[in-house]
Amino acid sequence: MRIGYSFWGFLGPGITDTPDGGRSHRRTLIDGLRALGHDIVFLQPDRDRIEAGTDLTHTYTWDAGLPELDALFLEWRWPIPRRNTTPCGTRGHTCDLHRQHQLLDHYTLRRGLPTIVWDKDLQLPAGHPLRHTPQVTVCEAALHPTEGAVSLLFPVADAALDTADPDTLSRQARPLSLAYVGNQYDRDDTFDTYFATPASERQDCLVAGKWTDTRRWPHVRFIGRVPFPHVAQIHGDSLATVLLLPDRYAAVGQMTQRLPEAVLAGCLPLTPAYVRSAPHFTPTQLHVTSAAHITTELAALRRIAGTSAHADLLAQCLAKLDIFRLSRQLDTLDKAFSRIGVQS
């Protein structure tokens, strides 16, 4: 079938000054759908070409109009004051929200087209009319989605999971003890508890990402945003990371793309134990409850670094990633499309 796909972000590395976490998994999902024979057309601007100078038009199709479709797929956009809520043409305006309104009005509401809304950031209000529209399925990247929504996790390519070698990863040099790659949004309290520990005062710890106010952590080394390809390099250099989640994610068992990014690079994911369904994501040996716990756990991990115990722990982490496997997420989408009347 022909699927119109709306996303505000990139398929390639994109630009450094952007919070688009979808780069880690969006192309994986798109290529998985295409491999099943679906025709995908992108309905938002081609930011890869316009902003990053990366021409992917030989592989993918963009359409700024309203082409004929069999189904609509939206990575949900929400109002962001002074950015996508301003009039078109205003300085700093992005038209992602206006375009989403146009697509919903034309395809979903007027034509009754089957529609998938992937609320990746948990920004769709519980009482939003789309949740009660028959031709719409709302998906969330959580193990415990909102009532009526479907769990669609951030996909990891089957081949990446099947070829990852814990023995090789465990023998890799790890000059960093602890790293975090991600932005500050809604993470100050968890950062206080799980990263801004005495251990993070050492020079072998760092934080990469957009942190606009770091005055309360003068002892932590912040290096700012890094190009997307450098994320894997940082994880590859680090023994461990901490999975810092906004409270709304932790409450429903929604893990960000940082988990598979870290594990596939051999970086052990220390996990706050309060995260709902934490044992589904990581081995309990890596669950932590306090700053002191982080410090002792890092010391224990450094003692086993490069040993068979390290490789075994990485193997357990890799096995936990099976819930993100692309083929499983494609099965979820197949069932969702079937439920709303599309034979895929």
Q: What is the mean pLDDT of residues 192-205?
A: 78
pLDDT band at 198; cut points 50, 70, 90: low
Q: What is the pTM of this model?
A: 0.94
As a whole number of angstroms, the distance between CA 266 and CA 168 comes to 9
Q: Is residue 344's pLDDT more than 60?
A: no
Token digits of residue 312: 């075994």
What pLDDT does 324 receive?
A: 98
Between 196 and 48, the more confident residue is 48
Mind listing the pLDDT tens digit for each residue in 153-194?
999 999 999 999 999 999 999 999 999 999 888 899 899 888
Report the half-sphere exposure of 19 (CA within 13 A, side-chain side). 8
Percent of the chain with pLDDT over 90: 81
As a whole number of angstroms, the distance between CA 148 and CA 83 comes to 30
Token digits of residue 206: 């760092």
Percent of the chain with pLDDT over 70: 98
Name the DSSP letter for residue 26.
H
Q: What is the mean pLDDT of residues 311-336?
A: 97
Mind listing the pLDDT tens digit for each residue in 216-270?
899 899 999 999 999 999 999 999 999 999 999 999 999 999 999 999 999 999 9
Q: What is the mean pLDDT of residues 276-281?
A: 98
Could you tell me the domains of the chain?
Answer: 2-155+325-339 (3.40.50), 158-323 (3.40.50.2000)
Q: Is residue 135's pLDDT more than 90?
A: yes
Determine contact, residues 220/196, Cβ cutoff 8 Å: yes
pLDDT band at 112; cut points 50, 70, 90: very high
As a whole number of angstroms, the distance between CA 331 and CA 24 comes to 20
In terms of residues, how long is the chain?
344
Q: Is residue 93's pLDDT more than 60?
A: yes
What pLDDT does 342 receive?
A: 59
As a whole number of angstroms, the distance between CA 270 and CA 226 comes to 22
pLDDT band at 199; cut points 50, 70, 90: low
Contacts of 182 (CB under 8 A, 6+ apart): 208, 209, 244, 256, 258
Q: For residue 268, list its beta bridge partners.
A: 240
Name the DSSP letter for residue 323.
G
pLDDT band at 200; cut points 50, 70, 90: low
As a whole number of angstroms, the distance between CA 44 and CA 28 comes to 18
